[in-house]
Amino acid sequence: MDTSSCFSVVAAAVSVFTVLWTLRDRCGSGYWTAACGALSGALSGALGSCLYLNVPPAVCGTALLTCSFILICVTERRVKLLPAERRAVLVTGCDSGFGHVLAKRLSEMGLTVFAGVLDVNGAGAQRLREPGSENLQVLQLDVTDSSQIETAHRHICAQVADTGLWGLVNNAGVLRCPMNAELHPLTEFGLCMDVNFLAAVKMSQVFLPLLRRSRGRIVNVSSMAAEVPMTMFAAYGASKAALSMFSKVLRLELSVWGVSVVLIQPAGFRTNIFGNSDNITRYRDEILAAVSSVAREDYGEAYISSLPSSLSRMSQQSAEDVSPVVDDMCHALLALHPKPVYTPGRMAWLLPFLQRCCPTAVFDAILMIVPRHTDHEPAGLNRS
């Protein structure tokens, strides 16, 4: 065997070892065995194909080593975390969902956590105060209320004056009731923009002096709906799209200060953002009261009344385990080199990728395959 062939074989062995090493913590024993066999077979086939096509072994080896190096770099960027000691993080929207789980997780890791809640006396706030949460402080924080933001700012300044604030997680958000853009009252658009976008802008502006002091992180929670045009999500998607663009611009502007800005863009997960039966009844009454007589006639009262019920169906179709989102949030806060965008959840990276790459007509056809959230059709579609 000549030198080039030996180099190619060694490169293949290094590549196998690198990939398996990166998978060591993600596979059980059965998956590990299957991964070993599949990967070995794939690389053997690749090498055989290269030889069959008369590709020089040195070229094959160089390509394999390059891929191994890239994989090692990417893996190290995700695995290596900063120490948690002497770091303080403010998380909004901690009454339930992602924020609630994240606040508890960070507290257990040893960070000082300021958990902002909409109702400081609510059930979610009470659970955050349970024994074992000594590092966690619950703060009354309606992110649309400037006076509450200023009060929280003064309290946190007194706590972290010397070291600064390491992280701000703008997690608070509202979905309200998905419906056709024509039927959405302007007040609903305004509420989504206030909570999902403008509140994050205000929070960032108020707390950036503390974040600059520590050269810390801003983590903004957006949504797949910020990139993918999902029917019934005009108000929610528009507000999250504004947040995404704001985050990308802020990332560039704050890089000179050493402050990182990270975007979490999850797919559907089951949280309290979908509301409960009382919310559904209230939304139905509000929509019927606000819709114009022309729209009521064209869409039909049965269709309009069915829209709030889609919240229950969407909740059932969403992933129950929120740990992928919380894992990415923790990585965004503590990784030595956080990614600019995280996409946890099923289809969270695939649909935006297809939206960018596919012709519009093709992608629109793909979206039509997505399961519908209502069994009713607008009445006007059935007229001759």
Q: What pLDDT score was predicted for residue 54?
A: 64
| Per-residue pLDDT tens digits for 320-366 | 899 999 999 999 999 999 999 999 998 888 989 999 999 999 999 98
Q: What pLDDT score was predicted for residue 44?
A: 58
Q: What pLDDT score was predicted for residue 299?
A: 92
88-367 carries CATH number 2.30.290.10: no
Q: What pLDDT score was predicted for residue 60?
A: 64
Q: Which residues are catalytic?
A: 236
- Intervals of the chain under pLDDT 70: 1-55, 57-61, 63-65, 67-79, 274-275, 277, 370-377, 379-384
Rounded to a whole number of angstroms, the distance between the first and last alpha carbons of the chain is 78
Whole-model pTM?
0.78
How far apart CA 147 and CA 331 sit, in angstroms, is 31
Q: Which residues of 108-139 are buried (b: 16+ CB within 10 A; e: fewer)?
A: ebebbbbbbbbebeeebbeebeeeebebbbbb
Tell me the domain boundaries of the chain: 3-79, 88-367
Q: What pLDDT score was predicted for residue 85?
A: 87
| Per-residue pLDDT tens digits for 71-110 | 555 554 456 789 988 899 999 999 999 999 999 999 999 9
Q: What pLDDT score was predicted for residue 226?
A: 95
Q: What pLDDT score was predicted for residue 24?
A: 44
Q: What pLDDT score was predicted for residue 300?
A: 92
